[in-house]
Amino acid sequence: MYQSHIFIPTRSTPATDEPSKNGKLLQQAGFVDKLHAGVYSWLPLGLRVLNRVSAIVREELNQHGAVEILMPALQPKSLWDETGRWEKLKEIMYQWEDGSRHHVGLASTHEEVIVDLMRRADLTYRDIPQSMYQFQWKFRNEPRAKSGVLRGREFLMKDQYSFHASAEDLATYYTGMQAVYLNIYKRLGLDAHVVEASGGTFTKRHSHEFQVFNPAGEDRLLRCEKGDYIQNTELGTPTVCPTCGGTMVEEKSIEVGNIFNFGDYYGTTMRCTFTDQLGKRQPLFVASYGIGITRLVGTIAEVLADEKGLVWPSNVAPFYGHALLVGKVDDALRKRAEAFEASMPENILLDDRDVSPGYKLKDADLIGIPFRIIFSARQGEHVEVTERATGTTEVLTVDQARAKLSAL
Amino acid sequence: MYQSHIFIPTRSTPATDEPSKNGKLLQQAGFVDKLHAGVYSWLPLGLRVLNRVSAIVREELNQHGAVEILMPALQPKSLWDETGRWEKLKEIMYQWEDGSRHHVGLASTHEEVIVDLMRRADLTYRDIPQSMYQFQWKFRNEPRAKSGVLRGREFLMKDQYSFHASAEDLATYYTGMQAVYLNIYKRLGLDAHVVEASGGTFTKRHSHEFQVFNPAGEDRLLRCEKGDYIQNTELGTPTVCPTCGGTMVEEKSIEVGNIFNFGDYYGTTMRCTFTDQLGKRQPLFVASYGIGITRLVGTIAEVLADEKGLVWPSNVAPFYGHALLVGKVDDALRKRAEAFEASMPENILLDDRDVSPGYKLKDADLIGIPFRIIFSARQGEHVEVTERATGTTEVLTVDQARAKLSAL
């Protein structure tokens, strides 16, 4: 991809109206554009990262036997009245009357929709368990949207719902999903911890959160100085670690996922049932599993960025290599750089713009593609390859540089 | 993919609350589920078709040099007031006040957002032309949503916007896009015609529609009985063909795309400019290009379905082959069918359910996958392969059947 062709509106200074590091950098590097508070356009580079994060999540879920669907954003009030959530969520759910005086709202979660879908499907014991997920843009009327893409009014979620014949079957699947989630974070280069969450609104509900320690987080966790014991502050604030006696220290963290075991709450409240082996209708056991995809992009930005700009792990980077044509560019040099790009057009971004080397180098650091490859007359037939994360530089042949990127 | 695993809630009878053919069949075959009027969930089979249609559109646009982005649905009133469209579109645009008394709305189109984005990008003549597209769910407060997925309140659009230095450059690109669109429809198995549209609201605006003749359409076109001359009824109703003198006949058609040449309307009204070679700010010339993706799925359903159910062209089918295990199934037969599925798990749906052969055959016709492959003890080592569109049946070896699907 040629940089002159793709739209990357970098700025010389960080966005002044963005208090968060991820919001500042993602805008300055041309990954996103703020339309209004908490609402962003995803520009070509940002969308590529978002799609690569989604692809990793999708791959892991498919391997775990989940099936992808897509549910609508527009919600009828009647459905949400069944669980009392229309009223309960009215502060954060966008709700209004349409022209025909019907109350409609925008979904920030989809339990009611999928439970309604499943109860109408006339399921038998042969049809379950079922686990279905979607990647869907959610809406939430955030009073303060100051955390960049970590907390938007419009944000992309992977949400997922599983349906089971018994509490035992649900518990097994629920535990398995914890391992799936930890694997997802690992592939994204994030060190996430699973933490038991507070009971919440539902009596029979269990809930776990996945947390990444980071100063940008809005959550607070207690971590034992000595070991790996971690506890949510909502469950009390012990000063001594219950397992080793070490001191517990409070740290900020970002919630990068949450899962809920609702037991038979939805099965009974919304009468979502299946026919068992004896022909009797029984309530289904339901759990839900959320991961904020836009939030993950913001988290990776917060955790890995340095003073020069963004730093993307190769698994989610918009490109593997950023080729820069610098200095006096003759035809032969341009052709070498263009041939390099043409050999991996989906994975190499070629800065072919007519701007100064300093400008190109600054933009490359800001954008944060894993490897920068400099084509200049000074290096002759060779290229200078610098790893963005470490700053390590090697002088390689073009073939060696290509092999390096192909191995990612 | 095993049919017992994927969620396909087929029904024995068509949906009674759906007047349209596409709505009836897509629901009966388990591709979509209606949440409320004009608002559908896309179930596993439907989402697969939607994604395959999107992939074809994306491929053609990328080849034509367009770049993908994603703009938000939530819109601030202030932006739309610049063109007067907040007021003008208030009947069909969902608009309300949020908790902070800010007026927000849901986008049914994105000219205002992208023009605002481009005017803030401080473009020079070096940065243009630019052509950017998105696949984005749109919202429209349809008073009557009775056409299934042909006209939803929530629908997926590919919308695209191009920015040019001159009317001439725009005109060239605009004409090129007509060819791109016709190629897209051809790949989707649709016979689409480009028709000049009425002038609309903007004085300097040109507009073209892409139309597929079909009784389910809400548009009416005049077509010459003898030749290929077609005219929009909005531009007058001649009874005689102006090119050959033949009789003009009115026919219903589905609008499957539209493109608008706005000239310098947005460039001047919203002050969206670029710096020319002399350092002077000049208005940009803007065009937009829309294709309703969910509507395309509905159109393909309307055009190709027969009395037995849906019929998908292989380019957009959810799977290439539908393997049915029927009759008395012993271990050897089951293993052959499973090995067949395992050789192309993304392209073969295996009906492994414990239901009668008649039930399986009826479901297969309803779902409309291009080839049905019957594994039964009666055929020994062979399978019976039937093309859904034509009903042609052949008895083949499993390898021959696989080769047939691989060639799609």
Domain A321-406 has CATH 3.40.50.800: yes
The residue to which tokens 């706005």 are assigned: B262
Burial (CB count <10 Å: 0-12, 13-18, 19+), residue A24: buried
B212-245 confidence digits (pLDDT tens):
999 999 999 999 888 778 888 877 777 888 888 8
Choose from B7, B126, B133, B159 for mutation: most chain A CBs within 10 A. Answer: B7
Cβ A101 vs Cβ A73: under 8 Å = no
Q: How many Å lie between the alpha carbon of A230 and the closest alpha carbon of chain B?
A: 36
- Looking at the DSSP bridge assignments, the partners of residue B159 are B134, B290
Confidence of residue B203 (pLDDT cuts 50, 70, 90): very low
Nearest to A42 among B69, B74, B94 (CB): B69
Cβ contact, residue pair B137, A73, below 8 Å: yes
Q: What is the pLDDT of residue B199?
A: 54
Nearest to A42 by CA among A216, A294, A291: A294
Comparing CA positions, the residue from B290, B366, B287 lying closest to residue B324 is B366
- The count of C-alpha atoms lying within 13 angstroms of the C-alpha of B226, restricted to the half-sphere facing its C-beta, is 9
Beta carbons of A324 and A336 less than 8 angstroms apart: no
The DSSP call for residue A378 is G
Identify the CATH number of the domain defined by range A21-72+107-304: 3.30.930.10
Q: Do B104 and A120 touch (CB under 8 A)?
A: no
pLDDT digits (tens, 9 = 90+) for B37-92: 999 999 999 999 999 999 999 999 999 999 999 999 999 999 999 999 999 999 99
Cβ pair A41:B71 closer than 8 A: yes
Indicate the residue of A70, A76, A120 with minimum beta-carbon distance to B36: A76
Parallel/antiparallel/unpaired status of strands A273-275 and A123-124: parallel
Query: With left for phi above 0 and alpha for psi between -120 and 50, is residue A118 left, alpha or beta?
Result: alpha
- pLDDT-above-70 percentage for chain A: 98
Of A43, A126, A132, the CB nearest to B69: A43
Measured at the alpha carbon of residue A194, what is the angle toward residues A193 and A198, in degrees to the nearest 5? 130
Lowest-confidence region among A7-16, A224-233, A247-256, B114-123: A224-233
Q: Which residue has the tokens 């109703």?
A: B237
Rounded Cα–Cα distance for residues A324 and B210 (Å):
42
CB A99 within 8 A of CB B91: yes
pLDDT band, residue A208 (cuts 50/70/90):
very high
Cα-to-chain-centroid distance, residue B332: 42
Return the beta strands (E) in B3-89 as ranges. Answer: 32-36, 39-42, 67-68, 74-76
Q: What is the DSSP letter of B222?
A: E
Using a CB-CB cut-off of 8 Å, the residues of chain B touching A104 are 94
Residue A288's φ and ψ, nearest 5 degrees, are -130, 155
How many Å apart are CA A200 and CA A212, to the nearest integer? 21
Q: End-to-end alpha-carbon separation of chain B, Å?
A: 18
Q: Which residue of B has its CA nearest to A70?
A: B42
Q: For A36, name the nearest residue in chain B, comparing CA atoms only.
A: B76
Residue of B nearest to A76 (CA): B36
* Main-chain dihedrals φ then ψ at residue B93, nearest 5 degrees: -95, 130
Note the pLDDT of residue A314.
96
Kindly write down the DSSP assignment for every residue of B223-239, as one continuous string: EESSSS-EEEGGG---S
Tell me what the pLDDT averaged over chain A comes to: 94
Q: Nearest-CA neighbor of A64 among A125, A115, A118, A131?
A: A131
Q: Point out the residue among B44, B65, B68 whose CB comes nearest to the CB of A69.
A: B44
Contact B91 A100 (CB under 8 A): no
Residue A388 has which token pair?
């963005």
Q: Write b or e for each residue in A255-282: b if 16 or more Cβ atoms lie within 10 A of its Cβ, otherwise e.
A: bbbbbbbbbbbbbeebebbbeeeeeeee
Helix B293-304 vs helix B21-28: angle between axes, to the nearest 10 degrees? 90
The SS3 call for residue A6 is coil
CA distance A228 to chain B (A): 38
Q: What is the DSSP letter of B294?
A: H
Nearest to B106 by CA among B145, B73, B154, B62: B73
CA atoms in the 13 A half-sphere facing the CB of A209? 22
Distance from CA of A354 to the nearest CA of B (A): 9
Of the candidates B68, B127, B143, the beta carbon closest to that of A47 is on: B68
Q: Which residues does residue A288 pair with via DSSP β-bridges, in sequence order?
A: A161, A260
**CA nearest to A226, candidates A242, A243, A246, A206:** A246
CB B256 within 8 A of CB B278: no
pLDDT digits (tens, 9 = 90+) for B96-148: 988 778 899 999 999 999 999 999 999 999 999 999 999 999 999 988 888 99
> Is the C-alpha dihedral spanning A273, A276, A281, A282 positive or negative?
negative
Give B102: exposed, middle or buried? Use CB within 10 Å, 0-12, 13-18, 19+: middle
Tokens 């350092």 label which residue?
Answer: B279
Q: Are A248 and A255 in contact (CB under 8 A)?
A: no
From chain A, the residues in CB contact with B132 under 8 A are 7, 44
Largest Cα separation within chain B, whole Å, is 81
Q: Using CA atoms, how far apart are residues A309 and A294, in angstroms rounded to an integer?
A: 19
- Chain B residues whose CB is inside 8 A of the A159 CB are none
Tens of pLDDT, residue by residue over B341-400, are: 999 999 999 999 999 999 999 999 999 999 999 999 998 899 999 999 999 999 999 999
Cβ of A75 within 8 Å of Cβ of B126? The answer is no
Tens-place pLDDT, residues A275-325: 999 999 999 999 999 999 999 999 999 999 999 999 999 999 999 999 999
On chain B, the residues whose CB falls within 8 A of the CB of A55 are none
What rounded mean pLDDT belongs to chain B? 94
Question: Which chain A residues are within 8 Å of B73, Cβ to Cβ?
Answer: 73, 137, 139, 154
Written as six digits, the tokens of A258 are 């949450």
Distance (Å, whole) CA B298 – CA B282: 42
What one-letter code names the amino acid at B108? S
Tokens of B156: 């997926």
Strands B219-224 and B230-232 turn out to be antiparallel
The predicted-structure confidence for A7-52, as pLDDT tens digits, reads as follows: 999 999 998 888 999 999 999 999 999 999 999 999 999 999 999 9
Long-range contacts of B201-204 (CB under 8 A, 24+ apart): B201/B88, B202/B262, B202/B263, B202/B265, B204/B262, B204/B263, B204/B264, B204/B265
**ipTM surpasses cut 0.90:** yes
B143 and A65 within 8 Å at the Cβ level: the answer is no
Residue extents of the structural domains in chain A: 21-72+107-304, 321-406
pLDDT tens digits, one per residue of A326-379 = 999 999 999 999 999 999 999 999 999 999 999 999 999 999 999 999 999 998
Exposed / middle / buried, residue A392 (Cβ in 10 Å: 0-12, 13-18, 19+): exposed
- Residue B72 has its nearest CB partner, among A40, A75, A98, at A40
pLDDT level of residue B196 (50, 70, 90 thresholds): confident
For B289-347, write each residue's pLDDT tens digit: 999 999 999 999 999 999 999 999 999 999 999 999 999 999 999 999 999 999 999 99
Q: Is the pLDDT of residue B268 over 60?
A: yes
Distance CA B406, CA B64 (A): 28
Confidence of residue B201 (pLDDT cuts 50, 70, 90): low
- The closest alpha carbon to B347, from B326, B374, B323, belongs to B323
Identity of the residue in B69, B73, B353 whose CB atom sits nearest the CB atom of A137: B73
Q: What is the pTM of this model?
A: 0.96
A74: which chain B residues are within 8 Å (Cβ-Cβ)? 35-36, 39, 139, 153-154
B221 and B184 Cβ atoms separated by less than 8 Å? no
Q: How far apart (Å, rounded) are the C-alpha atoms in residues A380 and A276? A: 74
